[in-house]
Structure 1
Amino acid sequence: MWHDLRMLNATTSALIAVLVLSLLGSGLWWVAHRPMFTLKVIRVEGMDGGQLRHVNPSTVRSAALPRIRGNFFTANLDNVRQAFEAVPWVRKASVRREWPNKLIVSVEEHQPLGTWGDDGRLLSVKGDVFTANLAEAEEDADLAAFSGPEGSQKEVLARYYQLAEWLKPASLAPRGLQLSDRYGWSMRLDNGLRVELGREQQPALLRGRVERLVNIYPQLTSLLQDRIESVDMRYPNGLALKAQGLALDSKKVKR
């Protein structure tokens, strides 16, 4: 009997607890779905207080709104973030709630460095390939031209920054960089000169070729001035060049 009474009390307590939790859950659900918690404000701002250059808050809001479901409590913030990151020019977004009916979306824009390939895509300064209005990108600066096998954009960008440092002693800068399907490198300089660098069969091979170009470049310009069109550095100890009305091979032009 005593044993049955204890069992009865435990069962009663459990049923009461389930009832209380059900009522509490129903009450919270009812409160959470009140009209006062319907999302009324979605504020779009630059991440870390930065200004937005290409992302128009009204436009990006309108583009993302159809993908947002729920209210202040029920909206899935990860889905909201993905909706904003799908908008052109948005590299990254973070979302937070602000009581009682606001979402604050902080946006980081892509910063274009150049074009990628021949299909109108852009490459950012952080190595992201993205699609946006090319004319808008050209408002920021002259765009470099990049290309390479699919998925090689990070490698191409890292090499671009290396080449920029290696060329500084000659007051030159790369304005385009291509990595072929056979992983051979070629670049175009800011003076229009095209340079073939070839494959990097050894870690220091490309740097050695660039240094050779830097060392001989003053001599080449003094002899040929602005007539040089392209230089081929794929020779062990020399180079071949093409100039207007002239072609020299590596046997004639050496370091």
Structure 2
Amino acid sequence: MWQDIKLLNATANTLLGALLLVLLASGVWWMAQRPMFTLKMIRVDGIADVQLAHVNALTIKATALPRIRGNFFTANLNTVRQAFEAVPWVRKASVRREWPNRLVVTIEEHEPLGTWGDEGRLLSVAGDVFTANLAEAEENGPLPEFSGPAGSEKEVVARFADLQGWFAAVNLAPETLTLSSRYAWSVKLNNGMTVELGREHSKTTLQERVARLIGIYPQLVARLQDRIDSVDLRYPNGMALKASGLVVGALKGGAARKK
């Protein structure tokens, strides 16, 4: 072996290359540990420069900062992102480095649409269920109430938007929307009236049923004023109406009877 000059040269070059790599890695490690790369600031921005309404320095210090480790080079950005997404009101977070000692976190907040179920959770306009301070969510007034089977949240949000548009024709607005375990819809309006819409048999089922009520609603109000308690629209050719002092039959032309 010692007489093989080519082999000796190759071995020497390999050892030299390995030594240089070790020295380079050591130099990089040494440089990365310098105080100048210690994280000095974490800047938090709203997505698309939207001002954050609920996330503040206090909640960030309490929830996110204790989970962040490392410096400019060694901080795990995925871990930092997860730490910020654990902060109440944060829907999504993205993180990037900013030379030489900063992290920039961009946050998208949940926008509350209403409450979900009876466990104090909130439903966002995107159909996400999340946990946050209810009093803070309702600082501008009570929120609509929603409930439904697990996984139906986005469908409930979409139907709520539909119902808002349909009932606006008679100056009414939904305040409570319920989707039962059998996927039957029920809505309570801002005049206190409950409307049983039933299950959807086609894409137009609910719209057709609401249109049936809206078509005669002015006449009902003229006769009954604010005494309407509930309307059941689950009948194919009519409706059942309950009001203080009377019940109107299910079919068209059905006679009213005293309670």
Cα deviation for residue 161 of structure 1 reads 1.1
1:105 maps to 105
2:134 is aligned with what amino acid? L
Structure 2's unaligned 5+ residue stretches are 255-259
Residue by residue over 1:113-146, the C-alpha shift from the partner in whole angstroms, topping out at 9 and shown as x without a partner, is 1000000000011111110111000013430000
Divergent runs of 4+, >6 A: none
1:33-48 map, 5 Å: 33-48=33-48
Cα deviation for residue 252 of structure 1 reads 5.1
2:51 maps to 51
Contact 2:59 2:87 in 1 (8 A): no
Which one is further off, 226-235 or 44-53? 44-53
Residue by residue over 1:174-233, the C-alpha shift from the partner in whole angstroms, topping out at 9 and shown as x without a partner, is 222110011111011122211100011222211111111111111111111100011100
What secondary structure, in the 3-state scheme, does the structure 1 residue paired with 2:139 have?
A: helix
2:157 maps to 157
What secondary structure, in the 3-state scheme, does the structure 2 residue paired with 1:16 have?
A: helix
Structure 2 length as normaliser, TM-score?
A: 0.92
Residue by residue over 1:81-136, the C-alpha shift from the partner in whole angstroms, topping out at 9 and shown as x without a partner, is 11011111111111111222111212121111100000000001111111011100
Cα deviation for residue 51 of structure 1 reads 1.2
Q: Greater share of helix residues, 1 or 2? A: 1
Which one is further off, 155-164 or 224-233? 155-164
Q: Provide the rounded CA distance (Å) in 2 between the counterparts of 1:98 and 1:149.
A: 44
RMSD: 1.7
What secondary structure, in the 3-state scheme, does the structure 1 residue paired with 2:208 have?
A: helix
Q: Provide the rounded CA distance (Å) in 1 between the counterparts of 2:175 and 2:18.
A: 70
Cα deviation for residue 15 of structure 1 reads 1.5
Which one is further off, 158-167 or 175-184? 158-167
1:16 maps to 16
Matched, 1:209 2:212: no
Which one is further off, 56-65 or 79-88? 56-65
Q: Provide the rounded CA distance (Å) in 2 between the counterparts of 1:253 and 1:20.
A: 96
2:6 is aligned with what amino acid? R
Structure 1 length as normaliser, TM-score?
A: 0.94
Contact 2:237 2:252 in 1 (8 A): no
Task: Rate the CA distance shift 1:166–1:27 in 2: closer, same or farther, 3 A.
Answer: same
What secondary structure, in the 3-state scheme, does the structure 2 residue paired with 1:226 have?
A: coil
% of aligned pairs identical?
64
What secondary structure, in the 3-state scheme, does the structure 1 residue paired with 2:136 have?
A: helix
Cα deviation for residue 155 of structure 1 reads 1.0
2:58 is aligned with what amino acid? S
Cα deviation for residue 36 of structure 1 reads 1.9
1:1-255 map, 5 Å: 4-251=4-251
Cα deviation for residue 235 of structure 1 reads 0.4
What secondary structure, in the 3-state scheme, does the structure 1 residue paired with 2:146 have?
A: strand
1:113 is aligned with what amino acid? L
Contact 1:44 1:61 in 2 (8 A): no
Q: Provide the rounded CA distance (Å) in 1 between the counterparts of 2:219 and 2:13.
A: 95
1:7 is aligned with what amino acid? L
1:198 is aligned with what amino acid? G
1:220 is aligned with what amino acid? L
